[in-house]
Amino acid sequence: MVISLRPIGAPTSIGFFGLAAASLTLTGLQLGWVSQVEGKHLALVLIGFVFLAQLLAAIFGFLGRDGTAATAMATLALTWLVVGLVLYTSTPGATSPGLGLFLLFAGTAMGLSGLTAALSKLVPAVVFLLASTRFFLTGGYHLTGGTGWKVAGGYVGILLFVVAVYAAWASELEDATGRTVLPLGRRGKGKVAVTGSLLEQVKDVTTEPGVREQL
């Protein structure tokens, strides 16, 4: 049996930049930096840039054999697509209990992905856990209508924006230079991925999805 490995550019940078864009634009809406009537325009940002950026990161993440990051990016991409569609079709400033329930699911999924990511890369784990927290807070706002939830979500969004931009740039620099410039908190398999030999990196490939007999 022949197993082929295909080098690709690291896709996480565009995924984290997409998340940063989503966080900044929605923070502006939640904290009143922009008018509620801008909701439809921000929805187009989520659909036209954020969804596509994170979907691209997810696809190439799976091809790059990083199932955890790819799953998180896919979850984020589809969540922003849903948020964008609801925002575009809703009355400006309206809440949606249905969207609130969905965001509770998204928060749970991102929380689990964050805990899993912490086994190999701490900074991406923090990004995913912050995204989880934001989804829970925004979900609480849509379910209750309480402005405290919305404001808290906006402030968490600012922190998420900063950390996501850092993670994106750190990943981009690492891909461009072939070494760690800004720490990503790599450990375990995450550290082996950039410091280990080729043999160390592919020794378990026969048990990975796409090679083993069943998923």
Q: Note the pLDDT tens digit of each residue in 116-125.
A: 999 999 999 9
pLDDT digits (tens, 9 = 90+) for 36-88: 999 999 999 999 999 999 999 999 999 988 899 999 999 999 999 999 999 99
State the pLDDT at residue 30.
94
In a domain, 111, yes or no: yes
In a domain, 214, yes or no: no
CATH number of the domain encompassing residue 175:
1.25.40
In a domain, 138, yes or no: yes
Structure tokens belonging to residue 134: 């934001």
In a domain, 88, yes or no: yes
Domain that includes residue 33, residue range: 12-207
d(CA 152, CA 134) in angstroms, rounded, equals 8
d(CA 195, CA 191) in angstroms, rounded, equals 6
Backbone phi, then psi, for 121, in 5-degree steps?
A: -145, 115
**Residue 186 confidence class, pLDDT cut points 50, 70, 90:** confident
In a domain, 4, yes or no: no
Number of domains, the chain = 1
In a domain, 6, yes or no: no
Place of tokens 């984020």: 76
Global confidence as pTM: 0.87
Task: Give whole-number Cα distances, 49 to 17, 83, 144, 171, in Å.
Answer: 10, 13, 29, 19
> Mean pLDDT, the chain, as a whole number?
88
Q: Are 73 and 16 in contact (CB under 8 A)?
A: no
3-state secondary structure the chain: CCCCCCCCCCCHHHHHHHHHHHHHHHHHHHCCCCCHHHHHHHHHHHHHHHHHHHHHHHHHHHHCCCHHHHHHHHHHHHHHHHHHHHHHHCCCCCCCHHHHHHHHHHHHHHHHHHHHHCCCEHHHHHHHHHHHHHHHHHHHHHHHCCHHHHHHHHHHHHHHHHHHHHHHHHHHHHHHHCCCCCCCCECCHHHHHHHCCHHHHHCCHHHCCCCCCCC
**Residue 185 confidence class, pLDDT cut points 50, 70, 90:** confident
